[in-house]
């Protein structure tokens, strides 16, 4: 497999773009080698600048749930662009979009559109602070909520340790207002809340965590957070930027039956266009300007082309429940194949899986939080990643990511190809 053009482009890119990429996860830093430059994609396949073809497990980090260049979404976009790309004034599609989100996501009663997941989470905590009159938030170690200052906080060594900035440029002041707890550790959260009485505005969590690799909430964990938040007047925010419209029509909250006060959305909601949203209880969302005093705005928010793409995606999902059955079946087949390969090669790897998300952790221990995720053999993962790429399967270039299945993968021959590639790559990674 040749990557000459990709390599040339990457050397040029490094001269003019920090690290050669416009988002760090696209670099191959964790796995070695250089990123491939993508030229086009269709269905389950990516095509790079050198003419190589790959079966796709990133799917733009989630949005391409129905595969690439899906005609349902393409046609909606084509229709929208002939009526001008932006007005900065209200449009019919924004109303339809809001109605549809409220219909699909169980806990959302009012919703505001923004342009990314980052904007959605940043705005949601501002609103939670405005609503409660409190300043601190609790987040979980290993959960990613976009690159807003408040979220770039590493966990301290103990549950009650104050956050320290994870990135230069984040002030101590901001870090002091973000408290962190290990995922799945309800007792740690209870201690933080007890140690900061009437000071916690919000607890923000990925109800199913996908940004430390896939980690599922333990039985009773989300329910415990729900009870705690209700009792203490804390706004519970589910960051469903990744899980929304993926784990079910109504996201993780529908699938797991626990309702947050606010929800943040992104990724699938734009069908591939830059869209985010935050919503929740009417009483909370009515704090947002111009209805209320909490300011949040956006020149391109609710952009007509982005709304057209998102609406087409959500309408399709809303009227085609079989999409979710197909995603479940396809993902289960892939995971079963990987398990069978591991067994055949006498490997004991931990596979976390729910719906159309899964991560193969290169460890034999259960992975329930960031600490256990970090026990993975990253060198072996790197070898596995490179071998998969060589076999024509494009995985996320990090152990700490979930893989995303699209409906376009639901072809028996394609799944067989993936299973065979997986077997070879596992063997290569472990020298078997
Ligand atoms: C991707 C992601 C974000 C950030 O969304 P962007 O659109 O990249 O800003 C926030 N939260 C979660 C859970 C995500 O997966």
- Residue 401 near ligand 1, beta carbon < 6 Å: no
pLDDT above 50: residue 67 = yes
- pLDDT band per the 50, 70, 90 thresholds, residue 164: low
> pLDDT class for 234, splitting at 50, 70, 90?
very high
Question: Could you tell me the pLDDT band of residue 24, with boundaries at 50, 70 and 90?
Answer: confident
pLDDT at residue 331 greater than cutoff 50: yes
Catalytic residues: 144, 239, 267
Share of the chain above pLDDT 70, in %: 97
The mean pLDDT value of the chain amounts to: 95
pLDDT value at position 8? Answer: 98
Q: How far is the CA of 147 from the centre of ligand 1 (A)?
A: 8
pLDDT at res. 158: 35
Q: Which domains can be identified in the chain, with CATH numbers?
A: 4-69+321-429 (3.90.1150.10), 71-319 (3.40.640.10)
Helix H, strand E, coil C: the string for 201-213 is EEEEECCCECECE
pLDDT at position 377 is 96
Of 22-31, 154-163, 245-254, 283-292, the range with the lowest mean pLDDT is 154-163
* Residue 211 predicted with pLDDT over 60: yes
CA–centroid distance, 429 to ligand 1, in Å, is 30
pLDDT single digits (tens) 368-397: 999 999 999 999 999 999 999 999 999 999
Question: Does residue 266 have its Cβ closer than 6 Å to ligand 1?
Answer: yes
Residue 242 Cβ < 6 Å to ligand 1? yes
Closest residue to atom 6 of ligand 1, CA basis: 117
Convert the pLDDT of each residue in 294-316 to its tens digit. 999 999 999 999 999 999 999 99
- Is this prediction's pTM over 0.85? yes
261 Cβ below 6 A of ligand 1? no
Residue 119 in this model has a pLDDT that exceeds 70 = yes
Cβ contact 349:364 at 8 Å: yes
CA 229 centroid distance within chain: 24
Q: What is the pLDDT of residue 165?
A: 66
Q: Would you say the CB of residue 146 lies under 6 angstroms from ligand 1?
A: yes
Whether the pLDDT of residue 238 is over 70: the answer is yes
Ligand 1: distance of its center to the CA of 271 in Å?
14
How many Cβ atoms from other residues are within 10 Å of residue 131's Cβ? 24
Q: How far is the CA of 195 from the centre of ligand 1 (A)?
A: 30
Q: Ligand 1: distance of its center to the CA of 241 in Å?
A: 5
Of 117, 143, 217, 306, the one to substitute when testing ligand 1's pocket (max ligand atoms within 8 A of C-beta) is 117
Per-residue pLDDT band at 156 (split at 50, 70, 90): very low
């Amino acid at each position: 497999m040749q990557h000459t053009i990709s390599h040339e482009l990457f050397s040029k890119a490094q001269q003019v773009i920090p690290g050669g990429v416009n988002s760090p996860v696209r670099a191959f830093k964790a796995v070695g080698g250089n990123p491939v430059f993508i030229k086009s994609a269709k269905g389950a396949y990516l095509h790079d600048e050198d003419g190589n073809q790959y079966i796709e497990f990133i799917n733009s980090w989630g949005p391409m749930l129905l595969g690439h260049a899906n005609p349902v979404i393409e046609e909606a976009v084509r229709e929208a662009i002939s009526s001008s790309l932006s007005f900065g004034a209200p449009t019919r599609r924004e109303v339809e979009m809001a109605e549809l989100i409220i219909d699909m996501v169980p806990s959302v009663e009012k919703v505001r559109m923004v342009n990314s997941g980052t904007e959605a989470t940043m705005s949601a905590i501002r609103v939670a602070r405005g609503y409660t009159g409190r300043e601190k938030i609790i987040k979980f170690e290993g959960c990613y909520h976009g690159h807003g200052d408040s979220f770039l906080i590493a966990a301290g060594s103990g549950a009650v340790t104050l956050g320290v900035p994870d990135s230069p440029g984040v002030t101590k002041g901001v870090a002091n207002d973000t408290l962190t707890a290990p995922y799945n550790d309800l007792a740690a959260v209870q201690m933080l809340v007890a140690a900061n009485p009437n000071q916690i505005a919000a607890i923000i969590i990925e109800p199913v965590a996908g940004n430390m690799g896939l980690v599922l909430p333990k039985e009773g964990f989300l329910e415990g957070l729900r009870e705690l938040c209700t009792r203490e007047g804390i706004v519970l925010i589910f960051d469903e930027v990744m899980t929304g419209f993926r784990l079910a029509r109504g996201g993780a909250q529908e699938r797991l039956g626990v309702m947050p006060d606010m929800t943040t959305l992104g990724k699938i909601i734009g069908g591939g266009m830059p869209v985010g949203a935050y919503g929740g209880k009417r009483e909370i969302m009515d704090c947002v300007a111009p209805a209320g005093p909490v300011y949040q705005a956006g020149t391109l928010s609710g952009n007509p082309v982005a709304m057209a793409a998102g609406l087409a995606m959500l309408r399709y999902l809303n009227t085609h429940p079989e999409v979710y059955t197909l995603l479940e079946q396809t993902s289960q087949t892939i995971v079963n194949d990987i398990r069978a390969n591991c067994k055949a090669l006498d490997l004991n790897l931990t596979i976390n899986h729910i719906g159309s998300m899964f991560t193969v952790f290169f460890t034999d221990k259960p992975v329930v939080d960031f600490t256990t995720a970090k026990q993975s053999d990253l060198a072996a993962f790197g070898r596995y990643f490179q071998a998969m790429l060589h076999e024509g399967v494009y995985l996320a270039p990090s152990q700490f990511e979930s893989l995303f299945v699209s409906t376009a993968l639901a072809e028996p021959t394609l799944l067989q190809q993936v299973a065979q590639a997986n077997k070879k790559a596992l063997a290569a990674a472990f020298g078997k």
